[in-house]
Structures are given as C-alpha cells and as structure tokens.
Amino acid sequence: METYEKLLLQNKAWATEKQKLEPNFFQQLSQEQTPDFLWIGCSDSRVPAEIIVNASPGEIFIHRNIANQLIPTDFNSLSVVQYAVEVLRIKNIIVCGHYGCGGIKAALGKQSANLVITNKWLMHIKDVYRLYKDEIDSLPTEEERVDRLVEINVKEQVKALSHTSIIQKSWHLHQQPVLHGWVYGLRDGLLKPLVTLYPDTQIDAIYQYEQLV
Ligand code: CO
C-alpha cells in the first residue's frame, strides 16, 4: 500500500469512530465554527497544533509556516489574522515556536544556493538575529544558539502582531484578543509560555496607528 493510501484509510476509520461516539459531531460542526484560539505555528510535522494540546476539530483556527512568522507584507498570515479577529472574534492568539526549529537553524547559517525562495522567507529571522547578535553569539553551542533564537523569534512575532492595524483596532474596540508567545519542546512534548500581551499593552510609538476607527 502507498503511504497516501494509508492516510485515506485512517481517515475513514477516524470518521466512522467519531460518528459512532458522537452521532451529531459532524452535523453540528458543519453548521459553524466558533474557535477561541488562533494558532500561528511552525510547519514542522512534529508540532501538530491540535494534537499537542489535545484539541478537537472546531477549537483552533490555524496558520502554520516555516518558523512561525508574522511578516507585515505576507497577505497569507495577515488574512488569517484578520478573519480570525474580525469575523470569528477569537479571544486568544498563540504564536508557538519550537526548540530545534530547522528554519531558525537554517537562518543562522549561510544562505542555501538552491533554496532561493526559502532564503527570502528566513531573511526576517536573520534580521531578528542581528538585533540580538551579542547575546546569541555568547552561547557556547549551536543548539543553545538555535534555541535562544527560537525564543527571541517567538517574542518578536508576538510584537509584530501587536504592530498590525488588525490587533490595534480590536484592542481599542473590543479589548481582545490576548497575544501569547509559547515554545514547544520536541524532547518532552511540553509547551512553555514565554510572553503575554494584553489589550492594554503600550506599543512603541512608531508602531502605533494614529486613528483607529
Ligand atoms: Co520549525
């Protein structure tokens, strides 16, 4: 059997089992979604959002990309944030990085001659590294340097979220969502909270919007 065929078979088994345990599950979920959380995570296959927090379909709105970034010119992640905040009115946004992140590790090395597009995506992490170069370079091993940049990157992405008009407008009008920065440990399966920004957070003046209507 091909590997993709296994996925289709597993899906059939899952849907059948779910239907048996909760006969109204799909019928109810098909009507609407009311998730409380937006998750912005890494694409890494070892950090599947719903599984690591034991969540069910309908609980988490999800966006994943390499190294869980929120880049101000990326319409993909921004449109997810806008829909989550302005339509779904989610109450919490979680930016979740993970130790040992391949994207962060790659960003700390030279640019790959072959991965031209991926290089561009990682360029933003190189910029974050440049801000914290002394602290990161002072760490003795590559693993420690990667893991420190993983943590710093999460905090920077949470900050980047707070710099968007979407978040500032929602904080102003609805006093939500709360922004969380977490990091996941591949070795122990545990999440560690790093930072929380509440709707009354003071944002640096140069990132503030003049008028929020
Ligand atoms: Co990663």
Domain-located, residue 133:
yes
* Residues around the ion ligand 1 (C-beta < 5 A): 42, 44, 101, 103
pTM for the full model? 0.95
Domain-located, residue 141:
yes
Local confidence band at 140 (pLDDT 50, 70, 90 cut-offs): very high
- Residue 44 CA to residue 66 CA, distance in Å, equals 7
Give the domain range for residue 180: 36-207
Domain-located, residue 13:
no
pLDDT value for 213 = 65
Query: What are the structure tokens assigned to 107, written together?
Result: 């960003």
d(CA 20, ligand 1 centre) in Å: 36
Active site residues: 42, 44, 46, 98, 101
**DSSP SS3 for 147:** helix
d(CA 39, ligand 1 centre) in Å: 14
Domain-located, residue 98:
yes
Domain-located, residue 15:
no
d(CA 15, ligand 1 centre) in Å: 29
Q: Which residues contact 80 (CB under 8 A, 6 or more apart)?
A: 38, 40, 61, 63
- Taking a C-beta distance cutoff of 8 angstroms, is the pair 41, 68 a contact? yes
pLDDT value for 31 = 95
d(CA 76, ligand 1 centre) in Å: 18
Q: How many domains are contained in the chain? A: 1
Domain-located, residue 5:
no
- Residue 98 CA to residue 71 CA, distance in Å, equals 18
* SS (HEC) of 7-73: HHHHHHHHHHHHHHHCCCHHHHHCCCCCCCEEEEEECCCCCCHHHHCCCCCCCEEEEEECCCCCCCC
pLDDT score of 182 more than 90: yes
pLDDT value for 211 = 78
User: Which tens digit of pLDDT belongs to each residue from 72-131?
Assistant: 999 999 999 999 999 999 999 999 999 999 999 999 999 999 999 999 999 999 999 999
Question: 108 burial class (0-12, 13-18, 19+ CB within 10 angstroms)?
Answer: middle
- For residue 72, the domain's CATH number is 3.40.1050.10
